[in-house]
């Protein structure tokens, strides 16, 4: 198959990372909405694409890539348009630190905050201790990310980079929870968050259905495609 095919539904934060980049590049692509809330990544059809049952998966001219940390830099390199990989070695290191922090610590912490409120079926019985722990862990993650950002507009420098596309979608999910104010009360966060939300690629990749609908459906144990 020629062109770009992105497997994964709009509700996935990692899928949105890729979609933000594709939007910035002005790229045309087909999206196959493999839905996490319906358990579709674990079905055999998708397991054949991604042996660990995750989205996103990307096909580009018949070449398959799994893992956002490989997909995003690949697309940034091969697609025309502005680059979202900083020129300087230090800024590239800042970007990769942020991506690594999200992969290793950030996604788990921040999705646990969202999960407590929106995906009770996926996390089991709501647990107040786990909620508090997730808030503390999430704040630590955002604090580190804002330290990396320092005085820059975006996480790895003045222009936005892949790092911002990694962090923004998961913050969007947390922003819809009653814990958002507490999690986001981190020095420097507000300025970054306002700038990211103003980006056309952030606005263009808002899930096509309302989040409220998604969360209501998740809570009721049925999916939304
Ligand atoms: N390491 C993967 C993580 C992707 C990931 O965790 N995706 C979530 C959705 S945001 C997923 O597929 N979850 C399905 C599941 O765990 O069953 C990557 O970087 O692409």
Q: What local confidence, expressed as pLDDT, does residue 67 receive?
A: 98
What sign for the dihedral angle of Cα 121, 123, 126, 132?
A: negative
Per-residue model confidence as pLDDT tens digits over 73-84: 999 999 999 999
User: Does the beta carbon of 120 lie inside 6 Å of ligand 1?
Assistant: no
Q: Please tell me the distance from the alpha carbon of residue 188 to that of residue 96, in angstroms, as a whole number.
A: 20
Residues of the chain with pLDDT under 50: 1, 221-225
Q: Does domain 89-204 have CATH number 1.10.101.10?
A: no
Q: What local confidence, expressed as pLDDT, does residue 222 receive?
A: 39
Residue of 13, 43, 55 best suited for mutating to test ligand 1, as the one with most atoms within 8 Å of CB = 55
Q: What local confidence, expressed as pLDDT, does residue 117 receive?
A: 83
Q: Whose CA is nearest to atom 10 of ligand 1?
A: 12
The CATH class of the 4-83 domain is alpha beta
Q: What local confidence, expressed as pLDDT, does residue 127 receive?
A: 82
CB 149 within 8 A of CB 141: no
Where do we find the tokens 């020129």? 87
CA proximity to 200, closest of 5, 12, 7, 25: 25
Q: What local confidence, expressed as pLDDT, does residue 121 receive?
A: 61
Q: What local confidence, expressed as pLDDT, does residue 207 receive?
A: 79
Residue of 8, 11, 14, 122 best suited for mutating to test ligand 1, as the one with most atoms within 8 Å of CB = 14
User: Does the beta carbon of 67 lie inside 6 Å of ligand 1?
Assistant: yes
Q: What local confidence, expressed as pLDDT, does residue 223 receive?
A: 41
Q: What local confidence, expressed as pLDDT, does residue 109 receive?
A: 97
- CA 151 to ligand 1 center in whole angstroms: 31
Per-residue model confidence as pLDDT tens digits over 44-54: 999 999 999 99
CB 114 within 8 A of CB 177: yes
Q: Where are the domains of the chain?
A: 4-83, 89-204
Identify the three-state secondary structure at position 187.
coil
């Amino acid at each position: 198959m020629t062109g770009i095919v992105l497997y994964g539904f709009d509700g996935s934060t990692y899928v949105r990372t890729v979609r933000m980049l594709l939007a910035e590049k002005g790229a045309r692509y087909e999206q196959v909405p493999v839905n996490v809330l319906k358990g579709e990544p674990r079905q055999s059809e998708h397991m054949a694409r991604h042996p660990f049952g995750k989205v996103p998966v990307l096909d580009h001219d018949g070449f398959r890539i799994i893992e956002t940390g490989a997909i995003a830099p690949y697309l940034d390199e091969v697609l025309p348009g502005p680059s979202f990989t900083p020129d300087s070695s230090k800024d590239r290191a800042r970007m990769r630190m942020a991506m690594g922090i999200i992969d290793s610590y950030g996604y788990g912490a921040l999705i646990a905050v969202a999960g407590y409120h929106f995906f009770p079926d996926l996390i089991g019985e709501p647990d107040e201790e786990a909620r508090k722990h997730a808030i503390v862990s999430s704040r630590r993650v955002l604090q580190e990310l804002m330290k990396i950002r320092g005085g820059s507009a975006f996480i790895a420098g003045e222009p936005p980079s892949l790092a911002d596309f990694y962090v923004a979608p998961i913050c969007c999910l947390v922003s819809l929870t009653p814990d958002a104010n507490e999690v986001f009360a981190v020095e420097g966060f507000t300025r970054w968050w306002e700038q990211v939300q103003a980006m056309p690629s952030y606005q263009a990749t808002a899930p096509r259905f309302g989040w409220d609908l998604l969360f209501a459906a998740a809570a009721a144990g049925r999916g939304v495609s």
